[in-house]
Structure 1
Amino acid sequence: MNDGYSRFFFASGVFCVVGIAFYFFNLTAASRINVSTLIEVPKGSNMRSVARELKEKKLVRSENALYFCARFRGTRLKAGVYRLSPDMDVSAILAVLGKGAPPSYTVLHIPEGYTVKKIAALFENKSICAADEFIAASLDGALLEEYGIPASSFQGYLFPDTYFLYPNTDGKTLVRKMADIFFERIATIDGFQEKSVPEIFQILTIASIVEREYRIASEAPLIASVFTNRLMHHIGLYSCATIEYIITEINGEPHPNVITYADLEINNPFNTYRRAGLPPGPISNPGMIALRAAANPPETSYFYFRLENTEAGTHHFSKSFDEHLDTGVFYTKQAKY
């Protein structure tokens, strides 16, 4: 009997020691990587929900360990935006969350379909980064090689989203932030997995055109199917969005009210009326709707589309050129921006 009690108490002691060791292990830093992340703590947030978010963002090893440690320490959350890193242990994280005094930051939304130049202008306007510096960073060869991007620019790889940004942020830091989010997001989209670098670049180029053409989300896949069908049959994409890109982004001219026949004859590799196949690269930075549409275009017999209702933003899709002509004037302005 005494031996039984001894074994029981020994096992209990070992279990307690292991449990305590495991608990304290979960209080250590989640990683040695010093890559900071901005975490927003809205007013009225509770420690349980914040702990869950920190776990999802891989900033802590265990949400329960952080939660119970916060309860034991009596840490009270203060609303704000905080910069946290996975190389911080739980004690350091709780010290930041409980200290308050949130840093000065700007909440900035980057719209879907914005180009590098438009994003740069937005950053400069908000005193985040000089436009020239951001554009230079987007063209940086070493940075492009670091991300394995087969192009001369990050155009298309800068994910449009809402960002918490500090004034006077380095251009390369901003490019990395937006590119990191881009690769995180496409990893969640069916059709991107197992794709090679050139295949991703092709999908992204199509998505960038779809982004500038669609108005109604449900029509984005249909527009993607039109472009896919045209590529398969070696037919020009005939996208007005690429003409607008040449006029505004390459030639630096004001945004046209209409696309003229003369515009369709511009001699430029991005002119999809003069050249079959895809343009040299993306013409915008697409969002999730366009990316999903380009990665998974439905099988249709459509080869043409045109804006049917300007106010509603709906398009008419046609299977033949004759049907396309019968629906009305087809060289019409289709600008989203």
Structure 2
Amino acid sequence: MARKTRKKYKSKIVYLPYVIIACIVIFKVFNFQFLTGKNIINNFLTKEQGEAEIGDEIPITIPEGASTKDIAEILYKNDLIDSAVMFRISSKIGEYDGKYRQGNYLIVKGTEDEEIMKILQSGVVYTNAVKVTVPEGYTAKQIAETLEEAGVVTATEFLDEMDKGTFDYEFLADIPVRDNYLEGYLFPATYEFEQGKSPHDIIIKFLDRFQIEYNNILKGKDTKYTIDQIVTIASMVESEIQVDDERAIAAGVIYNRLKVNMPLQIDSTVQYALSTRNEIVAASDLEVDSPYNTYKYKGLPLGPISNPGEAALEAAANPDDNKYIYYVLKERGSGEHIFAETYDEFLKAKETYKNSFN
């Protein structure tokens, strides 16, 4: 009996190392799953959801000394990969781990993870990228000049391509034949341009950005006005109004004038026709013979007179329901207006604030 007892004790000792190893393995697996899950949760909570669309170029910077984990987080926060954890695992399996190089990169949203790994390993950075900010209300000519000053493209090449190039977008379908064909559709924003890109590719960036606003604001709008007419109204609102709260009100004024077949008499349209931007429009300026002169011709001008931003597009698409027909600038430099329903109210407001313009 004693020998049997010793035998059982001995067998337990023999298997003890295997039990310990199994426990260690289970612990490591559990720990990995816990940390992985924790990372996924953290990633989910910290991910910065951007507004980029599939096909957009996203600029990222890989700093010196960044680990694969750091790089995965950068990619995830810029919405370029679905999972930072899976990117790290794939980097290890694909033998990219530790081989990524620092620098500035342009990654197209929608690029497969493995292709991103190849790009970051190559070290081919976009050192020649130029950041350009286009303000709301700029004309196509002003945009062209801004791009030329930044060294992106010459103004002449840009404007020539704008009028002669072929661009396949739903929102361009109803545009009538005219010069400055894309005026109004070069959406104002901050862009990253690679030097050496063709004028066509540069214009595509503007139109792709307008596409987002079209989808969000204009597409499927139930109105008797065409997209081009709404954009034209938005461009006048952008050029005339500086105060955000007044945009929808001013859009309502324009629609009200159109309803009663009254000349729009928008100073900015005359300035566009003359290619000037003087603060005061002279009486002689009102005689310019141009389809953009809304003092001389009733109805909308031939097309947009500037490139409106989101707020102006929103105002033109969803104008304030009011009965105002007139508006008067309160004080020089204030940007604020008094809105009036009758001509008498208009004259009184004009008299009240005339001294600020002397």
Give yes or no for TM over 0.5: yes
Rate the CA distance shift 1:198–1:64 in 2: closer, same or farther, 3 A.
farther
Higher relative contact order (CA 8 A, sep 6+): 1
- AA matched with 1:241: S
SS class of match (2:307): coil
Q: Does 1:227 align with 2:254?
A: yes
The partner residue of 1:274 within 278, 296, 299 is: 296
- AA matched with 2:193: L
Rounded Cα–Cα distance in structure 2 between residues aligned with 1:64 and 1:317 = 58
Identity %: 29
**Equivalent residue number for residue 180 of structure 1:** 208
| Contact residue 234 and residue 313 of structure 2 kept, 8 A | yes
**Equivalent residue number for residue 21 of structure 1:** none
The partner residue of 1:40 within 59, 79, 89 is: 59
Q: Does 1:94 align with 2:143?
A: no
* Cα deviation code 1:100-154 (max 9, x no counterpart): 4531211000111111111111111111111111101110263368853523401
Q: 1:106-117, aligned counterparts within 5 Å?
A: 106-117=130-141
Q: 1:159-174, aligned counterparts within 5 Å?
A: 159-174=187-202
| Count of matched residue pairs | 287
The partner residue of 1:69 within 90, 110, 117 is: 90
How much does 1:258 deviate? 1.9
Any stretches of 5+ residues in structure 2 without a counterpart? 1-53, 64-69
Rate the CA distance shift 1:331–1:244 in 2: closer, same or farther, 3 A.
farther
| Contact residue 150 and residue 197 of structure 1 kept, 8 A | no
**Equivalent residue number for residue 336 of structure 2:** 314
Q: CA RMSD in A?
A: 3.0
The partner residue of 2:75 within 30, 34, 50 is: 50
| Contact residue 51 and residue 66 of structure 1 kept, 8 A | no
**Equivalent residue number for residue 326 of structure 2:** 304
SS class of match (1:324): helix
Rounded Cα–Cα distance in structure 1 between residues aligned with 2:62 and 2:294 = 50
TM-score for both structures, normalised by structure 1: 0.75
Rounded Cα–Cα distance in structure 1 between residues aligned with 2:224 and 2:201 = 23
Rate the CA distance shift 1:105–1:195 in 2: closer, same or farther, 3 A.
farther
Rate the CA distance shift 1:329–1:134 in 2: closer, same or farther, 3 A.
farther
Q: Does 1:131 align with 2:155?
A: yes
The partner residue of 2:104 within 74, 80, 89 is: 80
Higher helix share: 2
TM-score for both structures, normalised by structure 2: 0.71
* Cα deviation code 1:289-320 (max 9, x no counterpart): 10010010010111111211233311111111
Rounded Cα–Cα distance in structure 2 between residues aligned with 1:227 and 1:47 = 51
Indicate the structure (1 or 2) with the bigger Cα radius of gyration: 2
Any stretches of 5+ residues in structure 1 without a counterpart? 1-34, 249-253, 333-337
